Each structure stands twice: as C-alpha cells, then as structure tokens.
Amino acid sequence: MATVTASAPRVGLPGVLKHRAAQKLLLLALLAAVLVPLADARWASGSWPHALTVDVSKPLADASDWIIDNRDSHPLFLYFFGYISNAVVLCVRAVYLLLLAAGWAGVTAIGAVVAWRVAGVRLAVGTAAAFLACGLLGMWVPTMQTLALMVVAVLVSVLVGLVLGLAAGLSDRFHRALRPVLDTMQVLPAFAYLLPVVLIFGIGVPAAVLATVVYAAPPMARLTALGLRGADKEVLEAVESLGATAPQRLLTARIPLARKELLLGLNQTIMMALSMAVIASVIGAGGLGDRVYQALASVDVGAALEAGIPIVLLAVVLDRITAAAGERAGEAPGSRLAWLYAAVAAVVVALAGRLAGRLDWPDSWTVNLADPVNRAVDWMTAHLYSGVPVVGGTADWAGHFTTWVLDPVRSGLQWLPWWAVLLLVAALAWLIGTWRTALTAVLAMAGIGVLGVWKPSLDTLSQVLAAVAVTLVLGFATGIAAARSDRFERLLRPVLDVFQTMPQFVYLIPVVALFGVGRAPAVAAAVVYALPAVVRITTQGLRQVDPAALESARSLGASSTQQLRQVQLPLARPALLLALNQGVVLVLAVVIIGGLVGGGALGYDVVFGLAQGDLATGLVAGAAIVCLGLMLDRVTQPTQRRTKGGV
Amino acid sequence: MSTPVFSVEGLWKVFGPKGDRVPGDPELTALEPAELRSRTGCTAAVRDVSFDVHKGEVFVVMGLSGSGKSTLVRCLTRLIEPTAGSIVIDGEDVRAMDKTRLRELRRHRAAMVFQHFGLLPHRTVIDNVAYGLEIQGLGKAERRARAQEVVAKVGLEGMEQRRPAQLSGGQRQRVGLARALAVDPEVLLFDEPFSALDPLIRRDMQEEVVRLHSEEGRTMVFITHDLSEALKLGDRIALMRDGRVVQLGTPEEIVSHPADDYVREFVRDVAREQVMTVRTAMRPGGCDGTEHPGALDPDEVVADAIKVVARSGRAACVVEDGRCLGVVDHERLLGVVAGTEPKKEAV
Ligand SMILES: Nc1ncnc2c1ncn2[C@@H]1O[C@H](COP(=O)(O)OP(=O)(O)OP(=O)(O)O)[C@@H](O)[C@H]1O
Ligand SMILES: [Mg+2]
C-alpha cells in the first residue's frame, strides 16, 4: 500500500508535466495568434519598433546636468550627500594612512597574526607570503589603497547588512518585502551599480565605496536573516521558558545561534567587496584595480598581471581566513592571552620596522615581472596567435569563434522579429518556471526595447548565449566526470576553490593575453568565470541522487551510461537547472565587463558613458543590463527556488 | 489533599484562523477533530481540559503523538497562548498576568525540560546551567556557584567546561534538567524529556527523577507517551486523546478501571501485578488473630505480595497502623494477575 502511494506520483509526474507543458505552449500559441498579427500590422519592423521606444536619454542628460550644476550648491548635496561623501573620503584616507604608518612589516605581521589566531599556522605563513609577494611585485602602495577602500566598504556593508538582516530576521513583513529585492540584486551584474552612484557622487572614491557597499551588503543581510530565522525552535522556546526578555533572547540566543551564518555572510561580503572594489576602478577606486584597468586599456598584459596577482592573493587569503573563522564557529574560542601575545608581537614588528626606517617597501626589493611576461606574450603573439600547423593559433580560434558562432547568433537574434523574441522568452520562462516568472521576463525584455537599446542588448545576449552554451557543455561534462570519479573530484576541488574566489576582473587578463581583444575573449573570460560554479553544482546534484534509486537501477542490470541517462540525470534535474541559472547569471556579469576588452554592446556603452562623461548613455545601458539580468534569471528560474527559501 | 499548585479549568487551545470562535460555539465543539479541520481549517490541540496539580505530586500527562500534550504543558506558562479557559497558579490567574508578571512566573516558579534538550550550543555546560540565573540578572560568581551545586546534584561533575556537542544524549538531558533545577522552581515541567534517549539511559534518567522527587518533593508535571514511564513516575495520570483528557486517576485506577475501550486497549499489556496494590487485591475483613502472618503494607504492589504468599504457602494479612485490614490469598492474587478481580469495593 505504502509503496503504491509513494511511487504513484513519481511515475505520474513526467506525464502530467508533459501534459502541462503542452497546455502552456498551446495557450501561448493561441495568445500569439491573436496578438502577433495585430502587433505586426501596426508596428511592422524586424527590430524593436521605433514607435514603441521612449527616449529617456534627454531627460537623463538633463538630470545629470542638473546634478552636476547643483552638486556644490543644492542643500540636498551640501547637507546630505556631501556629508556622506566627505565622511567616506575621510575614513578611507584614515585607514590608508594607518596602513602606511604600520609599514609593510607591520601590516604583514598583523595579517599573519590574525590569520594565525583565526585559522592556524599554515594560513599565517600563507598570509605573510601573500603580503610579501605584493611588495615584491612593486604593488605595495596600490595594495594598501585597495585594502583601505575595502576595509571601509566592508565595515559599512556589514553594518548595513546586519541592520537589514536583523530587521528581516525579526519581522516577517520586512522579510517578505526585502527578499525579492535581495534576490534581484543578486542576479544583477556589478556594472549595473556603477552609474547611479556616479550620477550622484561623481567619479571618485566615495562613488567607488558606495557602489561596493550596495553590491556587497546583500549577502550579509540575506545570511543574517537566514541565520536568525533558522535558529533551533526548541532552543528559543527553552530560552523563552526561562523568562528571557526580548533583548536577552536576541543577544544571548538568536545572534550566537546564527554565528555560522553571520561569519559566512562576512566571508561573502568581503569577497564581493573585493570583486567590486577592483571593478570600481572604472569609477575612480584607484589601487590594484586601477592598475589592471590602465594596463588592459593599453593591452599591457605584463603590467596587468603584476596587479592581478596581488588581487588573487588577497582574494584567496581573505577567503580562507574568513572561511576558517566560520568553520571554527562551533568550537571553543581561543584564550585571550594568546591574542594578547599575538597583538604584542605584531606591534613589536611594526615598531621595529618603523625604527629601522623601513616603512615603505624598499624599491630595490621589487621583481620586474612585466617585462618577461610581455616578452612571453610577444612571443606568443608571434608564434601561437595564428598559423600554428594543424591546430591553428589562438587568435585564429577567436576569429573562427566570432565568425562561426558569435556572428550568426547575433545576426539571427537581430533578424528575428521583435515579437518573436518576446514570444521565445515567454515560452522558455513559462516552461521552466511559472506564469509569474514568464511575465517578469517578458516585461524586462520589452523594457529593453522601450529604452531603445534593442540592438546592442541582443548583441550582449548573443554573447551570453554562446558563452552559456560553451559553459554548460564543458561544465556538465566535467561535472559528470567528477561525480563518477572520486580521484578526479579530489584533484578538481582545490582548483575550483581558487577559481571561485577570484574577482571577475582578473579573468580578463589571461584571455587578453591569449586571444587579444574582441568579443571572443570576453566570452572566454565569461566561460572561465562561470565554469567552476556550474561544475560544482552539477557534481553535487549528481552525487546527491538518492542512492536507493541507483541501487535499484543497478540491480536491474543497467549499464553505467544507462544509470547516468535514466536515473542520475533525470533525478538531478533540479540541480542541473540551478547550474544553468547560476551559469547564466555569472556569464552575464563577465560578458558585460568584457566591454573593457572589446566586447562591445551594453558593457561598452557603460564604459563609454563613464569615460566620456555621457552619463545618459551609460545609465540607459545600465538599465538595459538590469532588464537583461532580470530576464535571463527569470527565464532560467526553476519553480522550486521560490518555495525552497534557502540562500 | 493539599492545595493545588496548578488549577486548570476548561482549557482550550485551537490553532488556525479565527480559532477563538471554536470553544464558544457548541456546534463546533461537538465536531470530531478531522471534521473541525475540514470545516474551519482549525486544529483543536487541547479541548476543554480541566485538572489540578497538587503540591509535591508527580502529575503525568500521557497520550499518543499528536494528542496535544506538548501544547497543554506549554499553555501552563503561556509559551503557547491558550484560546479559552482558566489557569491558576497558587491562586493567581496566569491568563491575566501582564508581561512582567509572566516573566516572573517563568523565571522563578515554573521551569521546563525539553524533549530535544534545547541547550545553547555555544555555551559550556556550566554556562548552560547558569543561563536561567543569568537571565534573572545574577552576578557571575553567584550564578556559577549555584550552577556548580546543581551540576553536582545531577551527576555531571568534571564536565563543566564541555560543550553540548561533546556530551551524550543522556548527559545533555542532565544539563537540561540541571538548568531547570538551577532556578529553584516551584514546579518542574517535563515535555517528553527522555523519549530521545536509549532505553537503558532512559531508565537511569527516570530513576534520577524519582530520586530528585523523593529528596526534594518538588511538584512535577511530566509529559510522556510511554505508558510504563507514566506508571513508574506518576502519582496521578491524565490520559489524553485528541486533545481531551479521557481519564484522570492514579496508575492503579487507570489500570484496574479503564474509562473506555481506548484506555483499555492502552493498558492491556501492563504487568498488572506491578501496578495494582494489595489494598485492591485483599479480601476485606480482619484475620481475627494477633500475629498477622505476612503483615503486608496496603500500598505494596501485588508482585511483592505474591512473593510473600508463595514463600509462606498461606494467606497473608494486610496491616495498616497495627490494624488488620484484610487478607490476600492465592486466589485473590491470581485474580489480579488475570484481571478477573472483583470490582473495587469500599475499604
Ligand atoms: N503551531 C501549530 N500550528 C498548528 N497546529 C499545531 C501547532 N502545534 C501543534 N499543532 C497541532 O496540534 C496537535 C497537538 O500537537 P502537540 O504537539 O501538542 O502533540 P503532542 O501530544 O505533543 O505530540 P508528540 O507526542 O508528537 O509530541 C497536533 O495535531 C498538531 O498538528
Ligand atoms: Mg510533543
């Protein structure tokens, strides 16, 4: 009896689904049959009809001019934004000076000591080595600039995230209101945040810090709320039964119980802040990101690498330290005395450096990496770019990829009538998700048309589609291989770990070295960036398939390919859809940044708008990026995510 | 009988939309639980429950899963807000208490032990035990000292600095018990405290409770779904089904006189000789002698009487305060074991 009821839905489900999918498509076809002739008769045009666009660039330009004219006089700026801006500058400056005053020896010692207390000796050595490497590469000052900006941005992000998260953790209503906002912010590419802050604060450190805060605060808020809500109910009941007041309950139970999530939130916030602090170099963040940005602008791979390596080192070190803190959250805290000794040791080192007159990193201790790297790149350009027998050169590959994949996809998309694109979006989103997600996706896509950036958006979309296709093929293949071989997975894991911590920006460096500039390198960077997440989710999904189901398939004599095709892949479908969704979101983020290396389209519009002070163009492109991000997320959003309620 | 500590009268708890209209509506209260749910979307977890808990007794509430025991015990200190009825503790109306007064009640007068312990994982054993005192605002030294005493009392010495994750289930529940004892409450509330434990450890813990009760005489309300636990610990037992109390009485009353088929089914496999007392088994009337062979106490269980009778080979007297109340012989004792003893007679 029990088995009958348990297995009935499983057997019945695909049939019902197919049935429902057919129903949805039928309904959509009916709707299209009525609406399309009407729309086509009225606005016959392949691209988005001009009559349906709203020219927002004029009012935007006016607004931006007004802000620029009034920035120094209007009370709103003088007494509100002005204060914020000054405070940010002051804080960053103060932290920067503090770091410089500690000297390179002091900063290295402090970093190592913190790593030692939080995560053990190995990480302490690694941290020290990472800081010394930054100095050796001649990047001490930019590293400190980036660090100063990060410290301020992370502090503010954590504060904002904590406040929002506490509110959402304690109030259901606030949680319901905040959740969709955070969900949406999570899928938007970093570039979309830049222009609004620049509009208000102008290019400079305040804008960079605030953009970073807006980008990095959501994970903290989300995880704080999650931690507070996930607390063991019985523990809270026990606390209540002992007569705790609401503040006591919060401070002695709810917050400590959420410690793991809080530390994970801190980890994610720091990583996102680093990623954004580097990208924000295009709006005046300075530091390491700026070096990479300048170097990429002149296609100087060596210089870009010199600044890129410290970024990666910072990312890995920060990630490991905060992750270790999270893992140790359940254990007994270390003794205070050890912290005291550690602090004293760090101060002694800093003072010693000061007395020895060696605050700045000595010039003679730097290694010139740029020249050899550039020579290697030159050699590559000469020998590997093209005409290598049999395999062809990397530039040839890029060229072929552009001509044979990117161009056809782009012209195909742009050839499609506008209503056909909307229809496709609707059909896909509805098949995978609900009518709600479909509606949002269609509205977002229509929004792009209304903004008048239909063509460049389809260009971006074509790059995203190509990159996602490549990512999925490689990612699923690798994921399946990793799920089937423990050895391979063990080998792969550290690689994925490192790749997942690296900021988006640094992925541009190697692809420029290999493929030059253009759309193909942007796609390549996007693929490399999105691949680790896709591989990881696929592997996990396949490995979590109910062992009993696999066992029974094996007992029926299924071969291992049959097991994979008939049991594992179908059962891992939710995970695969999630991988698709993540892949799309990550790919979009980097394809947009690809505007910096010749990716063109929307990303380029943003960069162009920033560079030329033409904020209106940039803002329209930014809005289109938001719409595109929303559309892509909703199209690939499985129904489950709404109900799951996880991170 | 002494004055009741808790006095519960017509208590209702209805979960769901507009649950408060249910208790007052005779049409709705007459419905079966399933029907009520489908009609109104409400679950009546506790329905019209009344009982008194006397000072110093162990009052057991027992029933199957979902019968509303946890809800009932939580209503006593308003961890769950009751829908209707009255709860009086020491003459004070609990439902009328304001926040401060309620907090006082929870801090000093009733402490609870939970099924899954409800310990704070980030605190050491001693800090978990001292938690209730900390909430009350006691200084660190004083609360540590008091917690230390209680830790010793429940047999956890040497583990003060461990964390809950480093303890076994039984030890964790000792911490939970110690935490409740540390605030020196008038009443201890237990919500299935031992059902997550292994049978052997469960027996240890039950004995611990028996010992604590005999040493300190603290009033206890004990929730369980395990009949043998209820019979072992309870001075009186309230048997719940679908939110109602179907029978309330001493273990012996419940075993010997089940109120309905449900209870009868429940107690069917009980070893009756372990529950029934000699007072019920005896044939009333004196032995007309002065020796009183056997000389059994009337509150001794039948199992003990069987030993005495079997050893001596003849009927034994039941003696209270030097007066012979009656005699038990093979026939009477066998009748108890077989469940065919005559209905209770006035003593
Ligand atoms: N918060 C709630 N909302 C709605 N219904 C609830 C809620 N809490 C309990 N119930 C319902 O009330 C009834 C009684 O639940 P309760 O937890 O009191 O049972 P119990 O006797 O303690 O069972 P167990 O032995 O499983 O702990 C159950 O039907 C349960 O589904
Ligand atoms: Mg219960």
Asked if residues A585 and A537 have their Cβ atoms less than 8 Å apart, the reply is no
Instruction: Tell me whether residues A243 and B104 touch, CB distance under 8 A.
Output: yes
CB B211: neighbour CB atoms within 10 A?
Answer: 11
Only one residue has tokens 């509430």, namely: B61
| Partner residue facing A242 (CB), from B111, B116, B117 | B111
Q: Write down the pLDDT at residue A51.
A: 65
Instruction: Tell me whether residues A237 and B118 touch, CB distance under 8 A.
Output: yes
Q: Is the pLDDT of residue A160 over 90?
A: yes
| pLDDT tens for each residue of A523-578 | 888 898 889 888 988 888 888 877 787 778 888 877 878 877 887 788 888 788 88
Q: What is the mean pLDDT of residues B30-42?
A: 86
Asked if residues B74 and B36 have their Cβ atoms less than 8 Å apart, the reply is no
Token readout for A78 is: 């003088």
With CA atoms as reference, the chain A residue closest to B105 would be: A243
Q: What number of helices (H) and strands (E) belong to chain B?
A: 16, 13
**C-beta contacts of A46-52 below 8 A and 24+ residues apart:** A46/A414, A46/A415, A46/A416, A46/A417, A46/A418, A47/A414, A47/A418, A47/A454, A47/A455, A48/A418, A48/A448, A48/A449, A48/A452, A48/A454, A49/A418, A49/A449, A52/A449, A52/A450
Q: Report residue B131's pLDDT band, with 50, 70 and 90 as the boundaries.
A: very high
| Partner residue facing A242 (CB), from B106, B116, B124 | B106
- Please classify residue B70 by burial: count the beta carbons closer than 10 Å to its beta carbon, then call 0-12 exposed, 13-18 middle and 19+ buried: buried
Asked if residues A431 and A615 have their Cβ atoms less than 8 Å apart, the reply is no
Only one residue has tokens 């002051």, namely: A90
Query: CB-based contacts of A550: which residues, under 8 Å, 6+ apart?
Result: A563, A567, A568
Confirm or reject contact between B104 and chain A (CB < 8 A): yes
Instruction: Tell me whether residues A241 and B122 touch, CB distance under 8 A.
Output: no
Nearest CA to ligand 1 atom 14: B68
Q: Write down the pLDDT at residue A642.
A: 42
Q: How much of chain B exceeds pLDDT 90, in percent?
A: 39
pTM over 0.95: no
- B321, B329, B332: which is closest to B293 by C-alpha? B329
- Tell me, in angstroms, the distance from the centre of ligand 2 to residue B64's CA: 9
| Partner residue facing B122 (CB), from A241, A248, A259 | A259
| pLDDT tens for each residue of A572-621 | 887 888 888 888 888 888 888 888 887 778 888 888 887 777 777 788 88
Q: What is the mean pLDDT of residues B80-102?
A: 92
Q: Is the pLDDT of residue A58 over 60?
A: yes
C-alpha distance across the termini of chain A, in Å: 37
Q: Write down the pLDDT at residue B346.
A: 39
Which strand (E) or helix (H) includes residue A354?
helix A336-355
With CA atoms as reference, the chain B residue closest to A258 would be: B122
Only one residue has tokens 């290999």, namely: A514
Least confident of A13-27, A105-119, A136-150, A353-367: A13-27
Phi, psi of B158, rounded to the nearest 5 degrees? 90, -10
Q: Report residue A43's pLDDT band, with 50, 70 and 90 as the boundaries.
A: low
Q: Which of B38, B69, B72 to mutate to test the pocket of ligand 1 (most atoms within 8 A of CB)?
A: B69
Least confident of A8-22, B14-28, B170-184: A8-22
User: Ligand 1 pocket, B224 CB below 6 A?
Assistant: no
Q: Write down the pLDDT at residue A582.
A: 84
Query: CB-based contacts of B227: which residues, under 8 Å, 6+ apart?
Result: B62, B266, B267, B270
- Starting at the earlier edge strand, list the strands of the sheet with B4-15: B43-54, B4-15, B84-89, B92-93
Asked if residues A418 and A47 have their Cβ atoms less than 8 Å apart, the reply is yes
Secondary structure (3-state) at A23: helix
Asked if residues A553 and A569 have their Cβ atoms less than 8 Å apart, the reply is no
Confirm or reject contact between B166 and chain A (CB < 8 A): no
How confident is the prediction for chain B on average, in pLDDT? 87
Q: Report residue A412's pLDDT band, with 50, 70 and 90 as the boundaries.
A: confident
Q: Write down the pLDDT at residue B62.
A: 92
User: Ligand 1 pocket, B241 CB below 6 A?
Assistant: no
Q: Is the pLDDT of residue A622 over 90?
A: no
Query: CB-based contacts of A407: which residues, under 8 Å, 6+ apart?
Result: none
Contacts of A237 in chain B (CB under 8 A): 74, 79, 114, 118
Q: Report residue A4's pLDDT band, with 50, 70 and 90 as the boundaries.
A: very low
Mutate which: A242, A249, A255, vs B, most B CBs within 10 A: A242
Q: Write down the pLDDT at residue B9.
A: 92
Which strand (E) or helix (H) includes residue A625?
helix A615-635
Q: Write down the pLDDT at residue B345.
A: 44
What atom of ligand 1 comes closest to residue B74's alpha carbon?
18
Contacts of A239 in chain B (CB under 8 A): 118, 120, 131, 135
- B154, B141, B155: which is closest to B181 by C-alpha? B154
Instruction: Tell me whether residues A252 and B114 touch, CB distance under 8 A.
Output: no
- Tell me, in angstroms, the distance from the centre of ligand 2 to residue A420's CA: 58
Q: Is the pLDDT of residue A204 over 90?
A: no
Q: Which of B46, B61, B71 to mutate to test the pocket of ligand 1 (most atoms within 8 A of CB)?
A: B71
Q: Write down the pLDDT at residue B343.
A: 54
Q: Is the pLDDT of residue A9 over 60?
A: no
Asked if residues A165 and A228 have their Cβ atoms less than 8 Å apart, the reply is yes
Q: Is the pLDDT of residue A10 over 50?
A: no
How far is CA A47 from its chain centroid? 31
Confirm or reject contact between B183 and chain A (CB < 8 A): yes
Distance, CA of A583 to CA of A624 (rounded, Å) = 20
What atom of ligand 1 comes closest to residue B13's alpha carbon?
12
Token readout for B31 is: 């419905």
Q: Write down the pLDDT at residue B191.
A: 92
- Tell me, in angstroms, the distance from the centre of ligand 2 to residue B68's CA: 7
Burial track A514-544 (b if 16+ CB lie within 10 A, e otherwise): bbbbbbbbbbbbbbbbbbbbbbbbbbbbbbe
Give me the residues of B, 218-277, that contact A with CB < 8 A: none
Contacts of A253 in chain B (CB under 8 A): 120
Burial track A471-493 (b if 16+ CB lie within 10 A, e otherwise): bbebbbebbbebbbeeeebeebe
As for the ipTM of the complex, it is: 0.85
Q: Write down the pLDDT at residue A362.
A: 74
Phi, psi of A586, rounded to the nearest 5 degrees? -70, -40
Q: How far is CA A109 from CA A98, A99, A127, A135, in A?
A: 14, 12, 9, 14
- Tell me, in angstroms, the distance from the centre of ligand 2 to residue B192's CA: 7
Instruction: Tell me whether residues B179 and A242 touch, CB distance under 8 A.
Output: yes
Q: Report residue A334's pLDDT band, with 50, 70 and 90 as the boundaries.
A: low
Q: How much of chain A exceeds pLDDT 70, in percent?
A: 91
Distance, CA of A417 to CA of A132 (rounded, Å) = 57
Least confident of A5-19, A500-514, B76-90, B98-112: A5-19
Task: Count Cα neighbours of A120 within 13 Å in the Cβ-side half-sphere.
Answer: 6
Q: Write down the pLDDT at residue A594.
A: 84
| pLDDT tens for each residue of B303-329 | 888 888 888 888 888 888 878 888 888
Q: Is the pLDDT of residue A40 over 80?
A: no
Q: Report residue A7's pLDDT band, with 50, 70 and 90 as the boundaries.
A: very low
Instruction: Name the interface residues of A facing B (CB cutoff 8 Å).
Output: 232, 234-235, 237-245, 248, 252-253, 256-257, 259, 330, 332
Q: Is the pLDDT of residue A179 over 80?
A: yes
Q: How far is CA A6 from CA A13, A555, A569, in A?
A: 12, 20, 21
Which strand (E) or helix (H) includes residue A631?
helix A615-635
| pLDDT tens for each residue of A221-265 | 989 998 998 888 889 999 999 999 999 999 999 999 888 888 888
- Tell me, in angstroms, the distance from the centre of ligand 2 to residue A643's CA: 27
- Tell me, in angstroms, the distance from the centre of ligand 1 to residue B47's CA: 13
Secondary structure (3-state) at B233: helix
How confident is the prediction for chain A on average, in pLDDT? 81
Only one residue has tokens 């583990």, namely: B159
Q: Write down the pLDDT at residue A647.
A: 35
Q: What is the mean pLDDT of residues A413-438?
A: 79
Q: Write down the pLDDT at residue A641.
A: 44
- B167, B158, B169, B241: which is closest to B199 by C-alpha? B169
Q: Write down the pLDDT at residue A45.
A: 66
Phi, psi of B89, rounded to the nearest 5 degrees? -115, 120
| pLDDT tens for each residue of B137-157 | 999 999 999 999 999 988 888
- A216, A220, A257, A219: which is closest to A236 by C-alpha? A257
Q: What is the mean pLDDT of residues B1-18?
A: 85
> What are the helix (H) ranges across A82-171?
82-119, 121-136, 140-170
Q: Write down the pLDDT at residue A329.
A: 65
Token readout for B331 is: 């026939």
Contacts of B189 in chain A (CB under 8 A): 241
Q: Write down the pLDDT at residue A19.
A: 67
Asked if residues B69 and A230 have their Cβ atoms less than 8 Å apart, the reply is no
Instruction: Tell me whether residues B120 and A252 touch, CB distance under 8 A.
Output: yes
Q: Write down the pLDDT at residue A18.
A: 59
Instruction: Tell me whether residues B131 and A241 touch, CB distance under 8 A.
Output: no
Distance, CA of A394 to CA of A377 (rounded, Å) = 12
